[in-house]
Structure 1
C-alpha cells in the first residue's frame, strides 16, 4: 500500500485566531507540506482542483510542477482533476508535460467535482455530468495511447489527425477515477483497468464499501482478474496528537466551525463511523487497519491534514508525528516498502501484476 497526503487547497481563516493566509502564502505552504511529506516518508502527495473560493488551486498541474522541482522521490497526483469541465486535450498535454518534468512520478485522479457552479462557468450543463466524464475520458485515453487521433463526440469540436504534444512516457500517468456514488464511474474504471478511489469522508465507511464492491465485481466481469486484484484507493482526514484528549480538544473548534466536516455529526461519532481519524498514533493506526474490513486489500491510503484553516505549524507537527509513529507500523502491518516512493505509479502496477492501461475492452 502507498501512504500519502492529500489537500483540497482551501484558504480558510483559523477559527481560533481569525488569521487567513493570502493565496500566495497558502500555495507556498502547500509546497512546504509536500516537501515535508517526502522527508517524513510518505509515498504520495495529491492536490485537488477547484475554481471557487475559498480554494486556491485552480491550476493543479502548475502547482505540482513546482513541487516536482522541490522534491525528488514522492509521487505527485491530483485529487481531483475535473474530467467534466476540462478539455481532454489540455489534460493530456498538461500531464504529459508534468510527467516528463517529474521523471515519471506522476499520476492523476479524475472526477466530476463537488461544485455545481463550475459547469456553466466552463460552458457545460451539470445534467450531462456522467456523459461528459465518460466521453472525455475516452478521448483522453486515445490522446495518450495514439499519436494520430481522429475523433468526434458530443461535447467538443472533432479532431482530425491530431497529435497531443508532448508525448507521455512509455506508460502514461496512472489514472484513478474518484467517485462517491456513481456506478458508471466504477464500471468505467474497471473496464479500462484503472484505479478506483473513494474519498471515504462525510459518510459512513460502509457507504463507500458498496462502491468498492461494485468496482471489484466489474473488474472481474471485464476480465481484469479476480475482484481481489482490483486497484482501490481510499481517503481519510487525520488529526493526530500524542494523546486522544489533546487531539479532540484541539480539533473540535475547527471541526464544528466547518460546514462540510461537521455534516458528519458529532466528532466522536464521525471518528467511529466515517473516515475522520482523530486521536493518538495508536488510535490512527487501528482506524486505518479497520478500513480493510470494508475495502479489502487496497493499494493507496491518502490522509487530509490541512483542512478548515488549521495552522501550518500544526500540520507539520502531525506530518512529523505520522512519519515517526504511524507510517512505520502501517508498513509493518501492511507490507509497505518505502522504496515505493521512488515510483508510486509503478508500485501500483507491480502490485496488481498487470499493465497500467490494458486493452479498451
Structure 2
C-alpha cells in the first residue's frame, strides 16, 4: 500500500492572519513539504497542474525534478497532468526526461482539470474534453511504447515517422493513473488499458466513490487484465489533525469556511459527514481512512490533501509529523486481511521486472 500526499498548489490567504504567501514562497513551500513527506516515511508526493490564479503549479515536471534532486526514495507523481490541454508529445518527452533524472521514481495521474478557461488558452474547446482525453492518451501510450510513430487524429496535426526523446528509462514508461471525480468514460479508459484509476474522493459521498471504483473494476476484468479485485485503485482524501479532536476542529474551521473550493457552503460538520474529509485526532483519521476499504475493496494508493486553504507551512509540516505517527498503523491496517493475489501499486522496478519476464522464453 502506497501512502502519500498530493497538492493542488493553491496560493490562498490565511484567514486567521490575512497573510497571503507569494508565489515564490508557495513554490518553495511545496518543495519543503515534499522533503518532509520523505522524512516521515511517506511513499508518494503528487503535484497538480494549473495555469491560472490562484495556483502556482503550472510546471509539475520542473518542481518534481527539483524535488528529485533533494530526495532519495519517495515516488514523484502528479495529482493531475492535463491530458486535454497539454500536447501528448510534450507529456511523453517531459515525463520520460523526469523519469531518467529521478532514476525511475516517477508516475503520473492524467486528468481533465476543473478550470474551463484553460481550454481556449491552449487552443482547445472544453466541449471536446472527453474526446481530447481519449485521443491524446491513445497517442501518448504509443509514443512511449513505439520507437517510431506515424499517427493521425482529430485534435492535433499528424505525426509521420516521429520518435519521442528521450525514450523511457529501461524501455518502460512511467505508470499511468487516470484520475476522475465523476466521468465514467475515464474509468473505462483506465480499464481498457489496464492502467490505474485514481478517484479524487474529496468532494463526493462514499456512495459515488463506490460506484465509480466498481465500474472501473468490472471493466478492468472485462478487458482481460485480471480479476476485478486485482485492478489498481487509488483514492484521494483530506485530513486535519491535532492530538485533541476539539482542537483540530477549532483550528481548521476558519480555513474550511474560507477555502476557495468549498468555503461559504456546507458547514464543516455537514461536509465531514457527507465526504471523506476527517478533522479530528490522529486515531480518528486512522480509523476512518481504514474504513475506505469497506466500499472500494483493497486498493493500492492513498493520498492526502494537507497543504491547502491557506494553511501556513509550519502547520502543514506538523500535520505530516502527525501522519507519520499513525503511518505504521495505517500500513498494518491496510495489510490486515488483504488477499495475497491483490497486487501492490506498480513501481519502476516491478514494471521492469514484468517486462523482462515477458521477453524471457
Counterpart CA distance in 2 for 1:219 and 1:61 is: 29
In structure 1, how many angstroms separate the alpha carbons of the residues matched to 2:21 and 2:108?
A: 27
Partner of 2:179: 178
Gaps of 5+ in 2: 337-343
Deviation at 1:294, TM superposition (A): 1.3
Report Cα offsets for 1:148-183 as digits up to 9, x if no partner. Answer: 000000111111110000011122100000011111
Question: Could you tell me how far apart the structure 1 residues matched to 2:288 and 2:231 are?
Answer: 22
Matching of residues 284-295 of structure 1 within 5 Å: 284-295=285-296
| 2:233 aligned with 1:232 | yes
Q: Which residue of 2 aligns with 1:63?
A: 63
Q: Deviations over 1:73-123 (max 9, x none)?
A: 000000100000000000000000000000000000000000001001101
Deviation at 1:335, TM superposition (A): 2.5
Separation (CA, whole Å) in 2 of partners of 1:132 and 1:123: 12
Query: Aligned with 2:16: secondary structure?
Result: coil
Deviation at 1:261, TM superposition (A): 2.6
Report SS of the residue matched to 1:154. Answer: coil
Structure 1: gaps of 5 or more residues: 337-342
Normalising by the residue count of structure 1, what TM-score does the alignment of the two structures yield? 0.93
Superposition pairs for residues 187-206 of structure 1, below 5 Å? 187-206=188-207
* Residues 1:252 and 2:259 aligned together: no
Contact 1:44 1:344 in 2 (8 A): no
CA 348–335 in structure 1, closer or farther in 2 if over 3 Å, else same: farther
**Is the aligned partner of 1:96 residue 2:96?**
yes
TM-superposed deviation, 1:266:
2.0
Q: Secondary structure at the match of 1:70?
A: coil
In 2, Cα distance between equivalents of 1:277 and 1:234: 14
Which aligned segments of 4 or more residues in structure 1 are displaced greater than 4 angstroms?
Answer: 347-350, 353-356
- Measured in 1, the distance between the counterparts of 2:46 and 2:289 equals 19
Deviation of 1:333 after TM superposition, in Å, equals 1.2
- State the Cα distance separating 1:348 from its structure 2 match: 10
The answer to whether 1:53 aligns with 2:53 is: yes
Aligned 1:148-163 pairs, distance under 5 A: 148-163=148-163
More contact order relative to length (CA 8 Å, sep ≥ 6): 1
1:340 aligned residue: none
Contact 1:178 1:199 in 2 (8 A): yes
Q: Which residue of 2 aligns with 1:127?
A: 127
CA contact (8 A) 2:258 2:264 kept: no
CA–CA distance in 2 between the matches of 1:77 and 1:304? Answer: 14
Q: Corresponding residue for 1:74? A: 74
Residues 349, 115 of structure 1: alpha-carbon distance in 2 compared, 3 angstrom cutoff: farther
Identify the residue that residue 319 of structure 1 maps to in structure 2. Answer: 320
Which residue matches 1:222? 223
Aligned Cα root-mean-square deviation (Å): 1.9
